[in-house]
Structures are given as structure tokens and as C-alpha cells.
Amino acid sequence: NNNLGSGRGGASPYDDDTSSTSTTSAGSPIPDFNASNIQLSTVAPAFGISSSAAAASGLQTRQPDYLDYDQKGRGIFSIMCTNSGISYLVGVTIGGLYGLKEGLARTPSSRWKVKLNSVLNHCGRHGSGLGNMMGASAIMYSLYEGVADSFELDAYTGPI
């Protein structure tokens, strides 16, 4: 097949070129995807292989890939927002469930509207209090962690 090296891939019954040969009939709805016409040096970068290594015949001695341990992760502000948001949501959920229990237990009346009002009041009181406390604690922890990382306090205190 003379499509090798032309960048046109395998022969297809839908090609306009009449010089290419096709193994399927012209009326077949499925094109011929012949993988033998794919050039590995063209698609190798998509798989993380250098083009020169893919073009070389046989296996060559390759250097090992070492991990870079000095990478910068997310910033202090991003970590702080994530930690405080997750902590706040967990605190509001736990406090709200505790408020639901307390609101049902301490309802002064058996009427539906009074019970609902009591449950909502207790859920709001306990949920917001615990959520704010956990969110503020997460912000303090994240700031401390960021300062400790920026000053590399592990060198002085040792790993914890």
C-alpha cells in the first residue's frame, strides 16, 4: 500500500483517491481500518514516547524516569478554602442532625407547626455554631500548615 508515510492513514472505501486499494466493497458501510499503515513515530507523542525512540528499530536502553519531589502543589489559599469548605459542610451536617434530635426532644407542644419551628430553630443554632467552629479551625490549621511548609520547619523539628 503506498499510503505509508503520506500521513493519510489506511485505505478507506470513502477516499476519493482511486489509486488506493481497498479490501472492502464500495457499498460497505464499515471503512477498512488497517492498523498496519499507522506510523508509530506520528502517534508516539500522544502516548508519552519520544518520536526518536519510536522510530528506532528494536529496544534501546532507556534512562529511568525519576519523580520530581520538589513540585509545588496547590497554593496556601486554595488549600485553605478547600479545607474550610469541607469542614464547614461537615460541621453544619453534624450540628444539624444533633439539632434535629434536640428539636424533636424539646418541643413544648405536639402540634405540627410548633414541632417544625422547634426543629428548625435547633438545627440552625447547632448547625451554624458547629459549622463555623470547624470552618474557622480548618482555616487556622491550613494557615499553620502553609507557614510551616514555607519556612520548612521540618528541618528543625523533624518529621511528625
pLDDT in tens, 47-59: 777 656 555 644 4
Least Cα distance to 87 among 27, 156, 139, 16 occurs for 139
pLDDT for 138 equals 96
SS3 30: coil
Query: Do 36 and 45 contact (CB within 8 A), yes or no?
Result: no
Note if the pTM is more than 0.75: no
Give the pLDDT of residue 103.
94
Give the separation between CA 65 and CA 42, rounded to whole angstroms: 22
Please compute the mean of the pLDDT values over residues 26-53 and round it to a whole number. Answer: 71
Q: How confident is the model at residue 8 (pLDDT cuts 50, 70, 90)?
A: low
| pLDDT at res. 53 | 59
Long-range CB contacts for residues 32-40, cutoff 8 Å, separation at least 24 = 34/1, 34/10, 35/10, 36/10, 37/1, 37/3, 37/4, 37/9, 37/10, 37/11, 38/9, 38/10, 39/4, 39/5
What does the pLDDT read at residue 81?
94
How many other C-beta atoms can be found within 10 angstroms of the C-beta atom of residue 12?
17
Confidence of residue 27 (pLDDT cuts 50, 70, 90): low
- Check pLDDT > 80 for residue 12: no
For residue range 90-142, list pLDDT tens digits in order.
999 999 999 999 999 999 888 999 999 999 999 999 999 999 999 999 999 99
Could you tell me the pLDDT band of residue 22, with boundaries at 50, 70 and 90?
A: very low
| pLDDT of the residue at 20 | 47
